[in-house]
Amino acid sequence: MKVSVVIRTRDEAPRLRLTLASLEGQDALHEIVIADDGSSDDTPAVIADAAARLPIRSVRHQASLGRSAASNAAAGLATGDILLFLDGDTLLGPDAIVFHRAAHRWPDTLVRGETWHLRCTRFLADPALCMPWPDKADGLARLPPSERDLLRVTEEQVRGNFAAVAARASPGVYPGAGPRALFEEEMEAIERASPQSWAAASGSNFSIPRALFLAARGFDPEMDINEHRELAYRLCRAGARMLRAGGARSYHLTHRERWRDPLFERAWQDRFAALHPDAPLEGLVAYWSGFAAGRPRTRFFQ
């Protein structure tokens, strides 16, 4: 089976450069298809530079169409049997593609990898140059140069010493006890084939047969958060199964003080409920509320 890595990106050129470096030398990589969703930074130059070393095709939107539409556009150009979705600020660990491919033992399979994050990258506009965001410059300047250097993530490290990069990682897409606990419970739910495992689908480090994705018409373009869970809900109701790709680890180069809390963005809930009136959204929202508030959680995964 051939694997196409599908990347959606917008205005994250320094991180995209590192993401693409992490794909160099990956076994089982068929191609990379990138959707540049209206970037105004150096993203086109980053893509052109990496295309000299990697099998890259890309589509560029002059104005942003949103995460789902961008992913659908890139997936429409892909030719692999398997689509592996990755964000433009996420490194893919060594052999992750091999682990994803091995997990696709049946045609109707959705595969979730292990989603980790790299600590302290949220302070940096450019992780390779250790360049801080403007509001983080004073705090970073107070650190000794030796400590500042420890925050860097460079292309050289990604290509030649990935173990050192991975050593500073922690489970969960974002820092904190909540994202870590959510990661652990989601992965456990997939392992024991919970009927609610569709809710453990991830936006990045998530793979699906291309034929299945196209037959489902991809992500709902009216959803730009939890679009991956809505797609997984649709497909699982039709008989697809969620599986875990053990060893397929990704590393999010974070850029937020906190995680992207779906409870603060209501539009996705309205759209999800309109598409699937019987979906257990109230239970899912109550479950997530426990993570956000740091209090004992209700049970969601059965």
Maximum distance among all alpha carbons in the chain?
Answer: 56
**Mind listing the pLDDT tens digit for each residue in 61-71?**
999 999 999 99
> Over 90: is that where the pLDDT of 255 sits?
no
CA of residue 293 relative to chain centroid, distance: 24
pLDDT of residue 258: 52
Q: Which residues pair with 90 in a beta bridge?
A: 252
User: Could you give the 3-state DSSP secondary structure of residue 264?
Assistant: helix
For residue 205, the 8-state DSSP code is S
pTM of the model: 0.94
Handedness of CA 3, 32, 112, 241 (dihedral sign): negative
Kindly list the structural domains of the chain, giving each domain's residue range(s) and its CATH number in brackets, ordered by start: 3-119+169-260 (3.90.550.10)
Measure the CA–CA gap between 189 and 194, rounded to whole angstroms: 5
**Mind listing the pLDDT tens digit for each residue in 175-209?**
888 889 999 999 999 999 999 999 999 999 999 99
The residue count of the chain comes to 302
Tokens of 192: 């024991």
Q: From the CB of residue 195, how many other CB atoms can be counted at a distance below 10 Å?
A: 10
pLDDT band, residue 294 (cuts 50/70/90): low
